[in-house]
Amino acid sequence: MSAAAPRPRDNQGAPVPRYDGVAKVTGAARFASDFAVAQPAYAYLLLSDVARGRITAIDETAARRVPGVIDIITHRNRPALKPVAHFGKGGPALSSFPPLDGPDIRHAGQIVGLVLADSYEAAREAAHRVVVRTSQSKASATFGSSGLKIESRAEAQQQEDPRKGDAEAAFAAATTGIEAHYSTPIHHHNPIELFTTTASWDGDELTVHEPSQSVHALRAGLAGQLGLPLDKVRIISPYVGGGFGSKVALGHRTALVALAARQLGRPVKLVATREQGFHIAGHRQETRHHVKLGADAAGKFTAFVHDIDELTDRKDGYANGGIEAVACMYGFGSVASTARLVRADRSPPIFMRCPAELPPMFALESAIDELAAKIGIDPVELRRINDTRVNPVTGAPFTSRSLVECYAEAARAFGWSQRDPRPQSMRRGDWLIGYGCATATYPTQVMSATARVTLNPDGGARVEIASHDIGTGAYTVIQQAVAEGLAVPLDRVRVELGDSRLPPGAIAGGSVGTASSVSAIMDACARIAASLGIAGPITAGNRAAAFKASGSGPVEALGEFVPAGGESKSTAGLHQGKVDISGGPKGARAAFAFGAQFVEVHVHARTREIRVPRMTGAFAAGRIMNTRTAHSQLMGGMIWGLGSALHEVTEIDPRTARYTNTDLGEYLIPVNADCVAVDVILVPETDDGNPSGAKGIGELGNCGVAAAIANAVHHATGKRIRDLPITMDKLLA
């Protein structure tokens, strides 16, 4: 056992190393663009420089003279495509307007053409020589621009904002209250693996290699656009080099590459550049929060008012939301909230790791710290006395909730009792020291899934499921689930994922993967037991005896999982790419994973340089399948949270509505030197919200860190920064 492989506690699985790890670090694992195709043509995207306007002319003369150029596809010659629905309306598409649908330009970085050549270099060279002329209109790109369209989410999406009692009146009557504004910036996912698509046709059958968090939705969307039957399209995506939400939806590039391959009669390969990735695959939109939090003399919350504005595109208006979840965090007494969509001339946003919760939890958990200071109560104690056993809006009980236990374990391990609560009271030499904490949460969600499991008489097994390993350890965790369900050794279980020919499984999004896939696998194992005449769980003994008695060959079963109380009655919709996520604050029971984040910051007394020498997070998330992969996910999440606090921001030039820092030199993320010690504690918890007993952890770890750091920075300096990221200039101002 080591820090990276915590010793399993109650209801926690063995820290099995990822068996695909060696293949990944030796280059044997093939990611989408690594698959060899015969004689490919290379594609290069042409993106719009302007944010709003119309293409008036395209001059391809110089581009077509570049040796090796084959063709240029623009809206003028693009073959027909059918529209598909936006993901916010249950469809697969990042944007409901089809690629290259005409001369209109709706956002900077919109794809306006695809250049095809015999080499990547020729395609790129030619792309730079295409002259796109536009008539430009003034773009409204950011909060405060003129020409924005502001609408309530309740009206735009027929979704009610959570409300309980008269929170405004309760706030006015509160003994102590905090009213403050907070904001979070634009974030881009930036997975290490770029956005790539390779398409090849065999007659009327299309094969696409593209990194995907959702191969069945991608297949359905692409087949829909091309007007093909589902079984004529295959998506292959065995390894995904990170996604975080940016590889869930069908973007504009995929169908264009498929059309080009059909037109050319040869495979076409596209690897979008890092910079292009900032425009074509979504982002986390910027948000603004107005929070009022009131408490009585004992520190019990009496009122919580949280209004959110979020910036979104004009066409589809995706909203992160999040107040439904945030409203479940404590016994607030009364709740009022409003979410508003601010529609601008911007590229379509999409969910990004902990999408709904990260921004509003920064606001709420900062406000709680401010309130604690004003009351003069320890911030851990303030959270403890406001813990709740039910969703305060609906009254629904939680499936399980171990927030207080997480605080207790993390506070002890961190040494919270060493904190002198007075701001600027802890100093070592030139460094001001601050301790801060905040709550982490993520709704526990599941979706329908299927899995085919085969058991051989010799104890070998196979599982086939079109789920995805986006770096999470899904291969290994699924292998563990099958080994356990069939009582066979781990290394006798062969796992096949990431191919739309496999039975549809859960997407790698919404942290639904493990709970949904494992629940389907458990069903398959139970069916295998039944067909072998085994009552109860399979053991090595009864399995061997059953095969011997029956003389049976391999036994195969298709397991199914359909969430109770979800929108689906069967798994049928999965084949059409339906994503039926349920759980979280909705339903007869509220389902959430929780955690407690503690950080120490050092702020330089003169320069205000901020360092984070250590972070401690304790998390409870039901059954932990594998303490090593869980530790890895949660540690990665905490490091991401550190980035959201101090580093990550996509800058936009308000005059041109263009993102300006579109590379990893200028879009800052934490590096090893920024993360000195990151401790993860896995708090035992039992949950019966779904058959697997697991809660998702992929998005839990990065929640709350930004507030913990903001709170620690306040403790160190006496200065409250309410606008992320927290930078030296804001502290010096």
Cα–Cα distance measured from residue 476 to residue 71, given in angstroms and rounded to the nearest whole number: 44
User: Is 99 among the residues that bind ligand MOS (CB under 6 A)?
Assistant: no
258: left (phi over 0), alpha (psi -120 to 50) or beta: alpha
User: Is 509 among the residues that bind ligand MOS (CB under 6 A)?
Assistant: yes
Residue closer to ligand MOS (CB basis): 323 or 382? 323
User: Is 224 among the residues that bind ligand MOS (CB under 6 A)?
Assistant: no
Residue closer to ligand MOS (CB basis): 380 or 474? 474
- Residue 228's Cβ-count burial label (10 Å; 0-12, 13-18, 19+) is middle
3-state secondary structure 114-164: EEEECCHHHHHHHHHHCEEEEEECCCCCCCCCCCCEEEEHHHHHCCCCCEE
User: Is 352 among the residues that bind ligand MOS (CB under 6 A)?
Assistant: yes
Identify which range of 106-114, 153-161, 347-355, 386-394 contacts ligand MOS by CB under 6 A: 347-355
Instruction: Tell the smallest beta-carbon distance from residue 354 to ligand MOS (Å).
Output: 7
Instruction: Tell the smallest beta-carbon distance from residue 351 to ligand MOS (Å).
Output: 4
Sorted by sequence, the CB contacts under 8 Å of residue 541 that are 6+ apart come out as none
Q: Of 125, 193, 685, 699, which residue is the catalytic one?
A: 699
| Among residues 282, 510, 584, 704, the one that binds ligand MOS under rule CB under 6 A | 510
Identify which range of 99-107, 113-121, 244-252, 436-444 contacts ligand MOS by CB under 6 A: 244-252
Residue closer to ligand MOS (CB basis): 74 or 690? 690
Instruction: Tell the smallest beta-carbon distance from residue 699 to ligand MOS (Å).
Output: 6
Residue closer to ligand MOS (CB basis): 208 or 579? 579
User: Is 318 among the residues that bind ligand MOS (CB under 6 A)?
Assistant: no
With CB atoms as reference, the residue minimizing the distance to ligand MOS is 245
Instruction: Tell the smallest beta-carbon distance from residue 473 to ligand MOS (Å).
Output: 15
User: Is 15 among the residues that bind ligand MOS (CB under 6 A)?
Assistant: no
DSSP conformation class of 330:
S
Instruction: Tell the smallest beta-carbon distance from residue 446 to ligand MOS (Å).
Output: 13
Sorted by sequence, the CB contacts under 8 Å of residue 655 that are 6+ apart come out as none
Identify which range of 352-360, 523-531, 547-555, 560-568 contacts ligand MOS by CB under 6 A: 352-360
Structure tokens given for 178 = 């905090």
Residue closer to ligand MOS (CB basis): 219 or 353? 353
Instruction: Tell the smallest beta-carbon distance from residue 670 to ligand MOS (Å).
Output: 19
Residue 6 has, within 13 A of its CA and on its CB side, a CA count of 23
Burial of 507-518, coded b for 16+ CB within 10 Å and e otherwise, reads bbbbbbbbbbbb
Task: Evaluate whether 140 touches 147 at the Cβ level (below 8 Å).
Answer: yes
User: Is 637 among the residues that bind ligand MOS (CB under 6 A)?
Assistant: no
| Among residues 134, 207, 213, 391, the one that binds ligand MOS under rule CB under 6 A | 213
Residue closer to ligand MOS (CB basis): 509 or 637? 509
Residue closer to ligand MOS (CB basis): 13 or 698? 698
Binding positions for ligand MOS, 641-670, rule CB under 6 A:
none
Structure tokens given for 629 = 């992969």
Residue 544 has, within 13 A of its CA and on its CB side, a CA count of 6
Cα–Cα distance measured from residue 469 to residue 407, given in angstroms and rounded to the nearest whole number: 31
Using CB under 6 A, count the residues that bind ligand MOS: 12
Q: What sign for the dihedral angle of Cα 262, 263, 265, 270?
A: negative
User: Is 355 among the residues that bind ligand MOS (CB under 6 A)?
Assistant: yes
Distance of CA 608 to the CA centre of its chain: 32
| Among residues 78, 353, 602, 623, the one that binds ligand MOS under rule CB under 6 A | 353
Identify which range of 238-246, 266-274, 300-308, 645-653 contacts ligand MOS by CB under 6 A: 238-246
Cα–Cα distance measured from residue 519 to residue 448, given in angstroms and rounded to the nearest whole number: 9
CB atoms within 10 A of CB 152: 13
DSSP conformation class of 286:
P
Instruction: Tell the smallest beta-carbon distance from residue 128 to ligand MOS (Å).
Output: 33
Cα–Cα distance measured from residue 621 to residue 633, given in angstroms and rounded to the nearest whole number: 12
Give the residue carrying structure tokens 């067909």: 531
User: Is 162 among the residues that bind ligand MOS (CB under 6 A)?
Assistant: no
What sections of 662-704 are H helices per DSSP?
A: none
User: Is 517 among the residues that bind ligand MOS (CB under 6 A)?
Assistant: no
Task: Evaluate whether 646 touches 726 at the Cβ level (below 8 Å).
Answer: yes
Residue closer to ligand MOS (CB basis): 513 or 595? 513
Cα–Cα distance measured from residue 677 to residue 560, given in angstroms and rounded to the nearest whole number: 41
Residue closer to ligand MOS (CB basis): 333 or 641? 641
User: Is 244 among the residues that bind ligand MOS (CB under 6 A)?
Assistant: yes
User: Is 498 among the residues that bind ligand MOS (CB under 6 A)?
Assistant: no
Residue 699 among the catalytic residues: yes
Q: Enumerate the active-site residues.
A: 699
Using CB under 6 A, list all residues that contact ligand MOS.
213, 243-245, 248, 351-353, 355, 509-510, 699
